[in-house]
Amino acid sequence: MPSDHDVVIPISTGSVIGSDPLQTVHGGGTRMVPMVPVGEGRLLPCIWRSHSVKEGVDNTGRPIRVHECLLLVGRDPLLTLRAEVDVDAWKQFGSGPVEW
């Protein structure tokens, strides 16, 4: 319940809420997500990545640290692929738009 001692701080949403033709910032139909390479010239958008780091192995069998993630393969029907990606590899991936 508000009281006489409540402090109200006005906030400006600035450009977060407003016109955005790509709708990449606020609840729109398109989001920018990391694009993960999965083969020769093929990239899949990462629609979820875990915050936790776990142990995995690379393609030579050496231990590495990985994030679990879901890659979007198709939308109709919805099809995802579970993947483990090296923690250090994320900074090398570009971003791309995905329709939600």
CB-based burial label for 36 (10 Å; 0-12, 13-18, 19+): buried
On whether residue 38 sits in a domain, the answer given is yes
On whether residue 17 sits in a domain, the answer given is no
Per-residue pLDDT for 5 more than 70? no
| Segment 25-41 mean pLDDT | 77
Query: Which domain does 92 fall in, by range?
Result: 30-99
Query: Both tokens of residue 33?
Result: 């997500």
Q: Which of 41, 49, 29, 52 is nearest to 91 (CA)?
A: 49
On whether residue 57 sits in a domain, the answer given is yes
On whether residue 90 sits in a domain, the answer given is yes
On whether residue 20 sits in a domain, the answer given is no
Residue with the larger pLDDT of the pair 28 and 87 = 87
Work out the pLDDT band at 23, boundaries 50, 70, 90.
very low
Per-residue pLDDT for 47 more than 70? yes
On whether residue 1 sits in a domain, the answer given is no
On whether residue 93 sits in a domain, the answer given is yes
Give the best-scoring range by mean pLDDT among 18-22, 58-62, 68-72.
68-72
| Segment 19-33 mean pLDDT | 60
Contact 26, 20 (CB under 8 A): yes
pLDDT given at position 4: 56
Please count the structural domains in the chain.
1
pLDDT given at position 34: 94
On whether residue 9 sits in a domain, the answer given is no
